[in-house]
Amino acid sequence: MADHGLNDDPSIADSEALWRRIPPTHCVLDRNLGRVRPSSAAFENHPNGSPMSVVLGKEVIAAGRDAESVLKGHEGYALASFSAGLARQCGQAVARDPLDEEPAHALVIGKKTGSVKRAVLG
Amino acid sequence: MASAGLEKVLREVASLSESEQRKLREVLNQRLAVKASAEDVLQQTTMDNGGHKPPPYKDPIALFIGGSDDPWVRPTVQGLARLVTLGPNWDSYGAPPIDVSRIQAAVDLLRAIMRPETPAPAVLATSSGGLQFEWHENGVDLEIEAGASRDFHVSFEDHHRGEVWEGDVSTDTNGVARCIAWLSDSNESRDR
């Protein structure tokens, strides 16, 4: 399940929200739903093979920040939210990976097949 | 300044021999007098690149898609033109510019499977430097991702018929052509 030597972190509850920035180029009009939504293409591992980046919403809030702070410097981007439990149901692992510029940074680890990417969309 | 993606396209075209370039220009002249036209793409790419004007053969994307004025062509070409202008890290997660060879392969696939009445797809870049076509209408969700080596990953769901299909496509395009047919039939029925 996990790769890159990282394992699932059980201290991240299934109910915790994982936030991912969505570039404007990854927003599509879904006429079946009657709204714009993220494309499945937005939920992919890094091009170099390392796992997909997310931010732990709970930690952002705990630090006194809000969701918009995650989008700072990324004009036109949206923020998608899905639960850690949903990621795990799709065979992914979730692990903390704090960065200097983003202490709430985390990784969603595992192969992103088409069905996994669409499942994240709910 | 041209984006890295556009520069790559132009380099590839420029690397052709004189006779090959002449042949391409003939293709432009003969087949791309279409309404999805070269001028639209040129205008878009010029605007997106700070006014930089590409060389005289000028419309590298249209070179790949020419020969049809079906309604889906124009918006598709415009979508492809936007992809070529994406520079490195366009998604803020380190994505590379779009690999032009994948654009050509994807357009070849479209030319093989699309029908005149098929709705235009949404054209998206993928973080691996590829591209993806998407349709979400008429009760159908269809995604075609262009991977490396002219392989495509297709996912299809027809909510009316309850049909779901996901798989890889290379030389045999019958499966994805059938998906397009269902999508197109739904579109035609709705328009009647």
Question: Following CA atoms A60, A64, A70, A74 in sequence, which dihedral angle do they give, to the nearest 10 degrees?
Answer: -170
The predicted model scores a pTM of 0.77
Q: Is B186 left (phi over 0), alpha (psi -120 to 50) or beta?
A: alpha
The predicted structure's pLDDT at residue A120: 83
Give the Cα separation of B15 and B69 in Å (integer).
29
Min mean pLDDT across A77-81, B52-56, B63-67, B182-186 is at B52-56
pLDDT by residue for chain A (122 residues), tens only, comes to: 444 567 899 999 999 999 999 999 999 999 999 999 999 999 999 988 899 999 999 999 999 999 999 999 999 999 999 999 999 999 999 999 999 999 999 999 999 988 888 888 87
Percent of chain B with pLDDT over 70: 61
Alpha-carbon gap: B70 to the closest alpha carbon of chain A (Å) = 21
Higher per-residue confidence, A84 vs B100: A84
Residues in B touching A74 (Cβ below 8 Å): 92
Contact check, Cβ <8 Å, A21/B134: no
Pick the closest to residue A87 from A114, A121, A50, A59 (CA basis): A121
Mean pLDDT, residues B47-53 taken together: 48
Residue B48's pLDDT is what?
47
Q: How confident is the model at residue B23 (pLDDT cuts 50, 70, 90)?
A: low
Q: Which of B85, B105, B128 is the last residue of a domain?
A: B85
Q: Do A39 and B166 touch (CB under 8 A)?
A: no
Single residue among B57, B85, B113 that ends a domain in this structure: B85
Please identify, among B30, B55, B85, the residue that sits at the C-terminal boundary of a domain: B85
Q: Which two tokens stand for residue B38?
A: 């070269």
Tell me, yes or no, whether B43 and B102 share the same domain: no
Nearest residue in chain B measured CA to CA from A23: B91
- Name the interface residues of A facing B (CB cutoff 8 Å): 21, 23, 25-26, 28-33, 39-41, 44-48, 53, 74, 77, 114-115, 118
| Residue predicted with more confidence, B38 or B118 | B118
Query: Which has more pLDDT, B135 or B192?
Result: B135
Based on the fold, state whether residues B125 and B39 are members of the same structural domain.
no
pLDDT of B170 strictly over 70: yes
| Domain span holding position B60 | 1-85
How many domains, chain B?
Answer: 2
Burial class (CB in 10 A: 0-12, 13-18, 19+), A75: exposed
Q: Give yes or no for residue B53 having a pLDDT over 50.
A: no
- State whether ipTM is beyond 0.95: no
Q: Are residues B27 and B76 in the same domain?
A: yes
pLDDT at B171: 77
Average of pLDDT values for B57-75?
Answer: 63
Please indicate, yes or no, whether residues B113 and B75 belong to a single structural domain of this protein: no
- Co-location of B112 and B189 in the same domain: yes
Of A25, A32, A48, nearest to B159 by CB-CB distance is: A32
- Going from N- to C-terminal start, the domains of chain A cover 17-113
Output B28 or B177, whichever has higher pLDDT: B177
Q: Per-residue pLDDT averaged across B85-99, rounded? A: 91
Q: How far apart are CA B1 and CA B135, in angstroms?
A: 33
Beta-carbon contacts below 8 Å between A and B: 71
| B151: Cα separation from own chain's centroid | 15
